[in-house]
Structure formats: C-alpha cells, structure tokens
Amino acid sequence: MTTTVHAYAATSPTGPLVPITIERRDLLPHDVRIDIEYAGICHSDIHTVRGDWGPITYPQVVGHEIVGRVAAVGPEVTRHKVGDRVGVGCQSNSCRTCEQCRQGRDQYCLNGNTQTYNGIDPADGTITQGGYSQAVVTNEDFVVAVPAQLDAARVAPLLCAGITTYSPLKHWNAGPGTRVAVIGMGGLGHMGVKIAAALGADVTVLSRGTKKKDDALAFGAARYVDTTDADALGELTGSQDLIINTVSAGLDIATYLGLLDVDGALVNVGAPAEPFSVPAFSLIPARRTLAGSTTGGIAEIEEMLAFCAEHGIMPETELIGAEQINDAYERVLGADVRYRFVIDASTFA
C-alpha cells in the first residue's frame, strides 16, 4: 500500500514540467510523513531536469527546499510528532556509520548519501522524488524542526540556499575582520550576503550590471561592484579573504582568484556543467586556495535555522502557484528572480 499524491514532474530534458501523481511509501518505523506547505525552486532543480549534470530517469519530481507539517509518524519515531512544522533539504538519508556521518557531515557521507530527488531510496530502491508535491515520506533523522518564529511561507529556501552558503562561510571563518565577496546574487548569493553580513564580515557583492545594487546594500553588503566593469573589478585585486562563487554558469575563474589576498580562498558552490579553466599562476604567487562545498549536515542546518531566527534573516521570496513553475524556471535562467521562487504546495491538488 502506498499513498498517491499530486505533484509536478519533468518528463524530458526539454519539455515543461507537468501535473502528475506519484506514490509515497507507507511509513517505515522511523519514517515521517510530511504534508508539504511550501517548496523552493533551486537552480539545481533546473540543472537536474534539463540534464545539465548528465541524463536522468523521467518522470522526475524535483525540489529540495521543503517545508510542511508532520501528518503521521512511524511507530519508532522520537524526533518529531504530528503537527510539528518541519523541513527537508537536499539529503534524505546517509549511512550514519562512516567517518563523515559520525562527525555530523552527512552531506559528505563516504558511502554516498541519498539525495532528496534523483537519488536511490535505500528503503525500496526507487528513484527519490522531491518537494514539488503534496506530501513526502522521509526518515526522521533527515527531517529538521523549523523554529516557530520563522515565517513558513518564506523559510523553505534556507533548506538549500541558506545552508549552502552558511556552511562554507562558517568553515572558512567569515566574521568580524574578514573580507568576503559573493559572486552572483541569485537565490544562494543573496542568502550568502545576508548571512556573511550577520556574521560580521565586510561583504562585497559582485554582480552583473547595477540592477541589484540597492538590494545588495540593503542585505548588508558594504559595497557593490558591477562585474561587467573591468576597471572596478580590477580595483579589488588582492583585497578579499574569502570569495563564495554562486554563479550557475561558467565563469572566468582566474579573474576572481586575482581578487584574493595572500592565503585567500575562493569557494565554489555554483555548479555549471562546464569545467573551469584555472591557470596555475592564478593560485601560486599568493598561496591561494580554490575549493568547493556542498550544502550542510543535518545538525548544521538546525544551527543555521537557529542563527537565522536569532538574527532575523529570511530569504526574499516570490510565492507562486504550481502552474507558474515553468515561467519561474525561465525567469531563474534569465537571472530575473528576486530572489527565490517558493511554490504554494496547496496548488498541486
């Protein structure tokens, strides 16, 4: 026995997402069934369904910024109860036993964690289906409590955009006295700016054109530089301790490495299909680091939610109905999102 729920799925790399029904499994002892209220649209959803990262199996329901209410729990669930407001992010399971999992870094599980969509569900071997749906069934350890003071209609993007920027900012010690630049101010980028500013860092936004300048300063940036202005970018040479690249497309990464001071790090979280070209001498003379980072572990997501609650940090969102998903995708691809689309899951019915 399974439960049939309404969802929106991609059925090919090129076609629109369409209404569909999918099955959610009956609860295993440690499972939580969540009635989804809101689901954010991450650029990774678009990369996935369009096959940017390789072929996938269709139909595929994406969405890994999920917020809702616990509707039912399995008999051995202890972490959540019916009625709780909870969230699910990018990972929905992991091995729990490897060194990374034991350190709370399930996003780096050495045995391969289970992605919330387009992963293999260890419970039944099926391909996982994500948050653009009415309900989801997830192991309790990968369901996080959402603090009551965070607005349910806006909080979903913290589950990916929030944690994906929070985690490297913390790991590379962003804070008072550090100079942090964020490249690209979309969903991830705008959260990176807000979080880095709240951590006390001196924040520079690097974005194309001047359309987002006022927003960047309002989000806490100390300065804004138009990346299409080579002279203005050049003035930042050697000036940054940490750069977070959130750009979804290929980038002349050497130019941005040049903005790092000695021992600075450029952490790439953007995930374009194309490889970067990295000249050796963009790194060597200043002992620079080019690094990557993915999402964050469950404990770190809870820490990030508490940090956002304490500092009053929320994503800027535009609430849409399911029938607007395809238009929203085009707007994300055109960098015309301010700054995250959130789907009202009641519209999947």
| Residues at the contact surface with ligand NAP, assessed by CB under 6 A | 42-44, 47, 160-161, 164, 184-189, 207-208, 212, 246-249, 251, 269-272, 294-295, 332, 335, 337
- Continuous H helices in the chain: 43-49, 99-102, 152-155, 161-171, 187-199, 213-218, 230-234, 253-257, 298-311, 325-333
Euclidean distance between CA atoms 121 and 143, whole angstroms: 15
Comparison of 77 and 205: residue with beta carbon closer to ligand NAP: 205
Binding site partner of 94, from Zn ion, ligand NAP, none, Cβ cut-off 5-8 A by kind: Zn ion
- Contact at 8 Å (CB) between 283 and 257? yes
Q: Is 95 or 217 the residue whose CB approaches Zn ion more closely? A: 95
Q: Helices 187-199 and 298-311 sit at what angle, rounded to 10 degrees?
A: 70
Q: Which does 248 bind (CB under 5 to 8 A by kind): ligand NAP, Zn ion, none?
A: ligand NAP
d(CA 143, CA 85): 10
299 binding partner (options ligand NAP, Zn ion, none; Cβ < 5 to 8 Å by kind): none
Q: What are phi and psi of 323, to 5 degrees?
A: -70, -10
Nearest residue relative to ligand NAP (C-beta): 186
Closest residue to Zn ion, based on beta-carbon distance: 42
3-state secondary structure of 90: coil
Contact 47, 273 (CB under 8 A): yes
Q: How far is the CB of 105 from Zn ion (least distance, A)?
A: 9
Identity of the residue, 72 or 98, whose beta carbon is nearer to Zn ion in the bound complex: 98
Q: Kindly tell me which of 249 and 278 has the beta carbon lying closer to ligand NAP.
A: 249
Structure tokens of 58?
């269709």
- Out of Zn ion, ligand NAP, none, what residue 122 binds, judged by CB under 5 to 8 A for its kind, is none
User: Please, which residue, 138 or 167, has the CB nearer to ligand NAP?
Assistant: 167
Q: Which does 185 bind (CB under 5 to 8 A by kind): ligand NAP, Zn ion, none?
A: ligand NAP
Question: Strand 85-88 relative to strand 144-145: parallel, antiparallel, unpaired?
Answer: antiparallel
* Smallest separation, CB 12 to ligand NAP (Å): 20
